[in-house]
Structure 1
Amino acid sequence: MTEVQSGLAETVIASPDLAEIVILDVGHGNCAILRDGDRCTIVDARSGVLLLSELQRMGIKHIEHVVLSHADEDHIQGALQLLPHQSFSIGHFWANSDSAKDSDLWDELLALVDHLDTCGRLQANMAISTSQRDKLSFGRMGVSVLHPSPYEIGHGPGRASGARPRLTTNGLSVVLRVSIDDEPVALLPGDIDAAGLRRMLSRQTDATAHTLVYPHHGGGNGSASHARFVQDLASATRPELVIFSMGRDRFKNPSPDVVAEFGSSFPNVRIACTQLSSHCHSGALPAAGGSHLGNRSAAGLAEGKCCAGTLTLRVEDGGIYVHPEPGPHAAWIQGNVQAPMCSVIAAFPIQRSPN
């Protein structure tokens, strides 16, 4: 079995001039690599093995920042392998304290971060909010924190009482807007829910971006209405591409109601799922791989679970380039998928015209 067949990337020589955002197929979870040449920032870390493989493929030696949006397992588990790894130096670790989260995994991670901070291996920052402004930016990468505010993380998750807003761990997810060469490329909202989104939008936040990585893997949003949440989030983001970072075998994401609302209210948005949803295809899986996927690491490769697989975003020639490209991806869907939910989407745009 080759590395690609096992889900791991082949080793290639990294380009020192390349700036890109990689949305890694980690199954059910999130992980993004913001890369400028041989420097990068990691946002969430579901899978340690795949993340380490992709970083080594890129030739990364130094990680500027590791940012965890919130304390759920499917966003933090891979950090236990990444942070102490001898192949990388790490500048800063960022997360928000969460007394409502009492998992053994979160406790183990906090103990590790404390040890590495004490040893001088990284600088631990246990508060990240809109006050960070440009502290996470580096090179050609602009990284803005849109949520939560210092007021919100000061209260932390919990029940509403008096002046205290009711925000859950999900509602306090760190939301990042990432630009390349000042072009807003991606919104990474963690698992922000309806209450958190209302708080963020109440600040008149500019959340526009070419690509939206949809919260909570296309599942629940903490309210009764998928349609209202989609409308509020997509109206604020105005995306041309929506990515569902999801696994085929858990929770049956994305919700058909979510995809249908995009088809009804935002029909020119391209939909891309990292793995093939069971809502779209319930029979035997297509043959592993597909010419549209390329050679990025992806959790779904080995068993043929990839749909879009790992996605790459770059700014090229005045527009935003996305891989897998929409034409080959759509052709693979049409030839291999029984009942694709994204068939309700009329167009597969890829370029944003220069302003």
Structure 2
Amino acid sequence: KHHTLVFDAGPKFGDSFNTGTAIVQPFLQYQGIKQIDHLVISHADNDHIGGALPLIHAMPVVQISSSVPELLPNATSCIAGQSWQWDGIDFLMLNPNSNDVDSENNLSCVLKISNKTHSVLLTGDIEREAEQQLLARYSEQLHSTVLVAPHHGSKTSSTHAFIDAVRADYILFPVGYNNRYHFPAKSIVKRYQQQELSMFNTANHGAIQFKFTAKNDPLITTWRQSSKKIWRY
């Protein structure tokens, strides 16, 4: 059986627009996916949780985990050490610890997804303090093929030690075009450029899709490649 995990649901802008039903749900339907087996909402910032409730109301969701379960129906806490396996894929929650007391960003759910040859590290909005805790707790386990940049490439995150421990081949910056925070920060982009890796940015590339095969490098397609006519910059 194939399973579907959704990690974060994007923002909501008033009652007129949210990415849960405007983007996530149509994409899943296009893929022939009729239910979400596990929805993980990393933390309570609007750009992560905003689309969650509309998405939950729009299609069946079997399980919901979050660092803020009180904000979502029938949700449970994401806690470091939680693990499960689907279809030969391993899922391991790395953050937060059950006794952690920190900022909302640093309590973000952090999830590592692995098969025998590749792995993806989803980091929410963790900052340097949480990165240091992950280094102390997991060290070598942080190594991943793909890293979604902590906190969108903010200066608060992506410390040298964390980047060195993850040793990713690909870094993804989830950012909006011309965003008011100027993410990713130029200094952080330069920091990643010191590594031998490929960088992708959703503002420039649109949706980024990785298909992992048993042995080879992942097959990567971007929405900018496949739908060039809609791009104006």
**Aligned with 2:61: secondary structure?**
strand
Tell me, in whole angstroms, the C-alpha distance in 1 between the residues paired with 2:118 and 2:136. Answer: 21
Query: How far does residue 66 in structure 1 lie from its aligned partner after superposition?
Result: 0.6
Query: How far does residue 234 in structure 1 lie from its aligned partner after superposition?
Result: 1.4
Query: How far does residue 43 in structure 1 lie from its aligned partner after superposition?
Result: 0.5
User: What do the CA deviations read for 1:254-277 (whole angstroms, capped 9, x no partner)?
Assistant: 1111111222x31x21111111xx
Tell me, in whole angstroms, the C-alpha distance in 1 between the residues paired with 2:166 and 2:205. Answer: 21
Higher relative contact order (CA 8 A, sep 6+): 1
2:219 alignment partner in structure 1:
322
2:136 alignment partner in structure 1:
202
1:247 alignment partner in structure 2:
176
Tell me, in whole angstroms, the C-alpha distance in 2 between the residues paired with 1:132 and 1:145. Answer: 5
| Paired residues of 1:148 and 1:200 also in contact (CA < 8 A) | no
- Map 1:132-281 → 2, pairs under 5 A: 132-134=82-84, 137-152=85-100, 156=101, 167-180=102-115, 182-205=116-139, 206-221=141-156, 229-250=158-179, 251-263=181-193, 265-266=194-195, 268-275=196-203
Residues 1:41 and 2:5 aligned together: yes
Residue 80 of structure 2 aligns to which amino acid in structure 1? T
Residue 175 of structure 1 aligns to which amino acid in structure 2? V
**Aligned with 1:151: secondary structure?**
coil
Gaps of 5+ in 2: 11-18
**TM-score of the superposed pair, with normalisation by structure 2:** 0.84
Q: Higher helix fraction: Structure 1 or Structure 2?
A: 2
1:81 alignment partner in structure 2:
54
Query: How far does residue 317 in structure 1 lie from its aligned partner after superposition?
Result: 5.0
User: What do the CA deviations read for 1:172-192 (whole angstroms, capped 9, x no partner)?
Assistant: 111111113x33321100011
Gaps of 5+ in 1: 1-35, 99-106, 118-123, 157-166, 223-228, 276-306, 338-355
Pairwise CA RMSD: 2.3
**Aligned with 2:37: secondary structure?**
strand
Tell me, in whole angstroms, the C-alpha distance in 2 between the residues paired with 1:315 and 1:322. Answer: 7
**TM-score of the superposed pair, with normalisation by structure 1:** 0.56
Moved over 4 A (4+): none
1:309 alignment partner in structure 2:
206
2:15 alignment partner in structure 1:
none
1:288 alignment partner in structure 2:
none
Query: How far does residue 83 in structure 1 lie from its aligned partner after superposition?
Result: 0.5
Tell me, in whole angstroms, the C-alpha distance in 1 between the residues paired with 2:45 and 2:31. Answer: 27
The percent identity for this pair of structures is: 25
